[in-house]
Amino acid sequence: MLDKIKTEPAMVVALILALIGVAGAFGFVVSNDQSSAITAAAGAVLALIGGGVTRSQVVPLAHLSGAAVPAATPPAPPAA
């Protein structure tokens, strides 16, 4: 499930909305305000989880010691 949160957070939020709809079909009463609050909370939690996962996989390009990072050389133009 963590993979889906990382790659498709909108799909997980849509699943939560679908579950709210199914619960309503079976008699569980959820007002529009409650549905909006649940959706907002789910979106916030997924954003935090997704951000944490993304941050753990990012490699910074700058060094904190102040040492210069060599610039990347542009690719050579194609031969004519």
Tell me the Ramachandran region of residue 63: left when phi exceeds 0, alpha when psi lies from -120 to 50, beta otherwise. beta
Q: Distance between CA 66 and CA 63 in Å, rounded?
A: 6
| Per-residue tokens: 16 | 């939560």
Q: What is the pTM of this model?
A: 0.51
Q: For position 63, what pLDDT does the model report?
A: 58
pLDDT, tens digit (0-9, with 9 covering 90-100), for 3-34: 766 677 777 778 888 888 888 888 888 888 98
pLDDT, tens digit (0-9, with 9 covering 90-100), for 44-79: 887 777 666 666 666 666 555 655 656 667 777 887
Q: For position 30, what pLDDT does the model report?
A: 84
**Length of the chain (residues):** 80
| Per-residue tokens: 70 | 């060599």
